[in-house]
């Protein structure tokens, strides 16, 4: 009989990634707080913070914050503000991900700066081995690319992710299977990966403050509040239960969104922007990805998002479906008379991948 061995999974998170990469090529900003920004281009300083380095975080400057707020926090201090350069970060990321993949039996990149490595086979259940691997990986990335990362090790993706959050930057945290419940127990629910502001608020209002409070509340009670599905999800997060495999997933959708120079209700202005976004998306599609559903995304002056979508005969060229987008725009406008839009976007979904001969292929969507 072969008992199913416990898995060992590493979560690798590149520290303050965009900022770290900038510090590498801009030695002059080292030792200073640095803020990497997405400028929206409508006014000076309109836009949001993509990443800040740890010195900037000490000033309270965090990802997602409006640039104008960050500037206020930086007032009088020597803080460097830089625009994002995604192309460059993607190059660096790609090289690092290639390094990481070498160390894994199974590999899953989850974003530009994060990946899971299943090392169960090569470490045969030995956490010492996994820890050594993590140190080797950290050293290798430091040596080859000059940046630090934080690694979490645990028996599942979720636990490794939570472990990694414990010590940053340049951290290494191991949570063994028998330690999982204790490790999570006293964490505030909002700290659990997958529990955001809304759910945190809802849990708190029930008197549920820490992870341990969740199972203590009882599954039936949770189900009344959250429904069967989410209730069991919450309980699993509290107890560190996660069987999801480390595997590269196919993309389900691709989208592009942009901020308008000025708020508008004008179909022609919107159409023009949509047409730009289609051209941009085509660079990604490369005539290799076909789609069956298109969506128009709108964000109004109050930052409320709405979508209008339509399933169409399969297409592989975003620009070729511009007439359908025009229809969606007109539909949206007639259903929302006078609504001022701030941002507009497009999305294609129902994707399938085509090979060189234009034939449909099964997997491989994640390559693009």
Which residues would be at the binding site for DNA (CB under 7 A)?
38, 40, 42-43, 45-48, 50, 63-64, 66-68, 110-114, 192-200, 227-230, 249-259, 292-293, 295, 303-311, 342-343, 345, 347, 350
Nearer to DNA, 122 or 191 (CB): 191
Q: Which residues contact 131 (CB under 8 A, 6 or more apart)?
A: 153, 172, 174
Active-site option among 22, 114, 131, 145: 114
Contacts of 250 (CB under 8 A, 6+ apart): 351, 363, 364, 365, 366
Give 40 or 120: the residue with its C-beta nearer to DNA: 40
Give 296's contacts (C-beta < 8 A, 6+ positions apart): 274, 307, 308, 309, 325, 328, 329, 332, 344, 345, 346
CB of 220 to DNA, least distance (A): 16
Helices and strands per DSSP (H, E), number in the chain: 13, 14
CB of residue 64 to DNA, shortest distance in Å = 4
Q: Where are the beta strands (DSSP E) in 164-271?
A: 172-174, 253-264
Is 114 an annotated catalytic residue?
yes
Cβ nearer to DNA, comparing 177 with 190: 190
From the CB of 201, what's the least distance to DNA, in Å?
Answer: 8
Least distance between DNA and beta carbon 294 (Å): 8
* Closer by beta carbon to DNA, 8 or else 162: 162
Sign of CA dihedral 309, 312, 314, 315: negative
Which residues are known catalytic residues?
A: 114
């Amino acid at each position: 009989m072969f008992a199913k061995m416990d898995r060992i999974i590493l979560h690798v998170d590149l520290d303050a990634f965009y900022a770290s990469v900038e510090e590498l090529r801009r030695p002059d900003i080292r030792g200073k707080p640095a803020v990497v920004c997405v400028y929206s281009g409508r006014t000076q300083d309109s836009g949001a913070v993509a990443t800040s380095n740890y010195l900037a975080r000490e000033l309270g400057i965090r990802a997602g914050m409006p640039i104008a707020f960050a500037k206020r926090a930086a007032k009088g201090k020597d803080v460097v503000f830089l625009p994002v350069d995604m192309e460059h970060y993607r190059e660096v990321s790609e090289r690092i991900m290639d390094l990481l993949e070498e160390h894994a039996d199974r590999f899953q990149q989850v974003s530009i700066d994060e990946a899971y490595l299943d090392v169960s086979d090569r470490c045969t259940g030995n956490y010492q081995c996994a820890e050594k691997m993590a140190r080797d990986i950290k050293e290798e990335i430091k040596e080859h690319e000059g940046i630090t990362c934080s690694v979490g090790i645990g028996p599942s993706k979720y636990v490794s992710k939570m472990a990694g959050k414990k010590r940053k930057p340049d951290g290494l945290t191991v949570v063994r299977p028998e330690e999982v419940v204790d490790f999570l127990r006293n964490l505030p629910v909002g700290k659990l990966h997958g529990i955001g502001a809304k759910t945190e608020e809802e849990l708190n209002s029930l008197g549920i403050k820490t992870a341990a409070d969740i199972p203590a509340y009882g599954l039936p009670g949770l189900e009344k509040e959250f429904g069967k599905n989410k209730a069991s999800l919450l309980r699993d997060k509290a107890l560190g239960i996660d069987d999801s495999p480390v595997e590269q997933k196919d993309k389900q959708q691709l989208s592009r969104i942009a901020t308008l120079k000025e708020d508008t209700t004008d179909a022609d202005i919107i159409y023009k922007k949509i047409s730009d976004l289609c051209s941009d998306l085509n660079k990604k599609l490369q005539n290799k990805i076909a789609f069956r559903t298109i969506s128009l995304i709108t964000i109004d002056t109050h930052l409320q998002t709405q979508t209008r979508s339509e399933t169409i005969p399969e297409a592989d060229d975003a620009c070729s479906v511009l007439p359908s987008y025009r229809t969606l725009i007109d539909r949206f406008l007639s259903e929302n008379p006078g609504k001022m839009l701030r941002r507009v976007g497009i999305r294609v979904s129902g994707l399938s991948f085509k090979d060189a001969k234009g034939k449909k292929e099964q997997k491989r969507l994640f390559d693009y």
